[in-house]
A and B are shown apart, each in its own frame.
Chain A
Amino acid sequence: MTVKRQYTLPYCQLILEGLTASGNDSHSPLTVLMNVECYLPGTTQGSLSGGREFLDSLVAAVSRYGQQLLSGVTVPAKAAPTEPPWVDLKSGPDSCHHLLVRSQPLDHSPLVSPEDLIPVDIPLSTVQFHDLMEAVDQLLADTQTLPDLTAQFQALPRRLVKPSIAFSQQALPATLGAVALAAAGLAFFFIPPPQIKPAKSSQRQSPALVSTASGQPPALAAASSPAITAPEQLALLQRDLTQRLQSNWKPHPAPSQNLVYRLSVAADGDIVAYKYTTHQALQEVDRTPLPQLSFDPVATANPSQEPTAQFRATFTPTAAVRVEPWSAAGTLTPVAKAELPEITSPLKAGDRIRQLNAGLYDQLLARAKPLSTSEPLTYRVRLNQTGIIVAYQPVTATAGLLARETPLPALAAAPDQASSDPQADFKVVFTATGVPQVNPWDGWP
């Protein structure tokens, strides 16, 4: 039998007409739908009607649009829909919801396909849409009407949802990074690679290189490092160097000839470098104490600029060590001869010795001037019997170097006197102020 089901809400009335499953029982479910009418009071279009297709499309559109309103996730339009739906819902620029309906004309003309029909646009407010959705929901929940029509809620799968950020925007940072990398690569391509310069060899030559007998004389730090010029310091260094070399040398296989080396000595007495002068000296360098005594500069990367003094060291076959300044500048060589010969005819008269002593003292005192050193300078001065200085000899090394500061060179006469004349030796000590002290060399008579 024909039954009518009605779902009424303030802004929507949905009326379904159909046949029940069993003929006479009005309580049996409505299974065959004949007609649907939907009244929307308060809208531009009063009523809509259609068949099962219209109802299915209405239910699908309302469900889809309702879910879209709730979640805010828009469903992407399916690519090229085969057939536009009878009912569609879209949101408009105004806050209205637009119900688009293509309905069959009421005159019973032949059926036309939906795309030939111009859709009717019905704007709905939210409350009106809610009533429409509520009517549909009540129909879906009603098991007595169309039991095959049930709610099918399905969340949108992830792959169907358009990402909130467009792909171009997502790809922009990566593209920028790649472009920047390429630009940097191009820029670095034009910059030449840095030239790696070999580290400069140290100013202080390692003594190990010397003993390898490579044939190349090692460079001495004579050119760049400043030289020590203070005479007293040179003298001290020379004396210290002589003592050290002599004490450390074990001349058991004595050298066959003089071994001469050039030494570079720092202000603290370290032998910072040495260099052979002859081929023999190179071959027998390991017999000398130089390899053990020389200071090995470790930090070769930081070439030292400390002042050095140059010395010539000679190892003689008689097991003696002589050290003298390398630069044979006349100022620094001792003026006097190395050794005074023995007096052949010594002066014996005590009175004459006292007179000569007093005369020498007066001579020296008259020309006394302050010395450049605080060390007393001691000389052995030889006078003939007339009181003329025929020779003098420095006793200490400093005295030899600083002889020019004393009046002795000016007073010394050329030794043309015959050595047979009676002569006497005196010990002259100059204090720092230049004041001499004179005593007979062999003691007061």
Chain B
Amino acid sequence: MPVDSPPGFQSPLILEALPTPALPGDQCPRRAKTQLDLLLLAIEALDLTSSEVMLEIARELGLESVIKGRVNLWLLRSTNPMRRYSQRRPMQIEEAKALVILTAHQCRRLTVLMRQLLMGYHQLQEQQLSPHHHLRLADYLNRFRSHFRSRMNPQRAGVIVYNTDEKLDQLAIALLEQMLLCSGVLGPQRLWSSLFDGEVL
């Protein structure tokens, strides 16, 4: 039977696990865009190869129709309004879902490392020592600081808040904890619904 029109866009099945929230518009809220980009930034600080791995994971999970490539991924992450070269394009719900799936997969891959870092951090805190006594943790914090400062626009109010090393370290630790929490079995769902806290109708 001849087909007149090409098959329409079908969202990958894996995205069906995440329910579409009842948002007032059809775009992602601002906080969701910021949160996703910051999580990916923390993953990059943890694992330098993560950007390549992300594209591989996207291929494995069949998300190529949403995450079309390196440039597309960069554009998606640049919807974060804190970015130095922030793109004013909206982030569609499907794209956010794909990013959540990718983030959760990356987190699961890095679970062991994150547990080590957080346990070390907890021990250092009990001894009232700075996190820089833990070699691997200090490495992560340094890299996160440099990534953050090189990519975020220092003029934005959301970035000015993190103007000292201590505040940036706090942010990095908080992101590390959040990454650990989305590494579980239901991690993608938990992360997904947390993105829209206070945004749904």
Contact = CB atoms under 8 A, between A and B. Distances in A.
A399 B197 CA distance: 109
A71 B177 contact: no
Interface of B is mostly: helix
Most buried by A among B177, B186, B191, B198: B198
Contacts of B21: 155
Given A127-B115, A127-B122, A137 B193 contact: no
B197 to A, nearest CB: 4
Contact of A67 (B115, B118, B122, B197): B197
Contact of B118 (A125, A153, A155): A125
B201 A158 contact: yes
Given A125-B119, A130-B184, A134-B185, A70 B194 contact: yes
A73 B198 contact: yes
B181 A133 contact: yes
A158 B199 CA distance: 5
A201 interface: no
Interface residues of B, number: 30
B193 A153 contact: yes
Contact of A137 (B118, B122, B186): B186
Contacts of B115: 127, 130
Contacts of A175: none
Contacts of B35: 71
A71 B200 contact: no
A156 interface: yes
A378 to B, nearest CB: 92
A161 B190 CA distance: 18
Given A70-B191, A95-B125, A155-B21, A130 B201 contact: no
A138 B183 CA distance: 12
A70 B190 CA distance: 8
B185 A141 contact: yes
B65 interface: no
A154 interface: yes
Contact of A71 (B180, B184, B197): B197
Interface in B116-154: 118-119, 122, 125
Contacts of A67: 190, 193-194, 197
A157 B122 CA distance: 34
Contacts of A125: 118-119, 122
Interface in A64-81: 66-67, 69-71, 73
Given A95-B125, A155-B198, 15 more contacts: A70-B190, A70-B194, A125-B122, A126-B122, A126-B180, A130-B181, A134-B184, A137-B184, A140-B186, A141-B186, A151-B186, A155-B195, A155-B196, A156-B197, A158-B198
Interface of A: 63, 66-67, 69-71, 73, 94-95, 125-127, 130, 133-134, 137-138, 140-141, 151, 153-158, 160-161
Nearest 3 pairs of A and B residues by beta carbon: A161-B198, A70-B194, A155-B196
Interface of B: 21, 35, 115, 118-119, 122, 125, 177-178, 180-187, 189-201
22 contacts: A67-B197, A69-B178, A69-B181, A70-B181, A70-B190, A71-B194, A71-B195, A71-B198, A73-B198, A127-B180, A137-B184, A137-B186, A137-B187, A140-B186, A153-B189, A155-B194, A155-B197, A155-B198, A156-B200, A158-B198, A160-B198, A161-B197
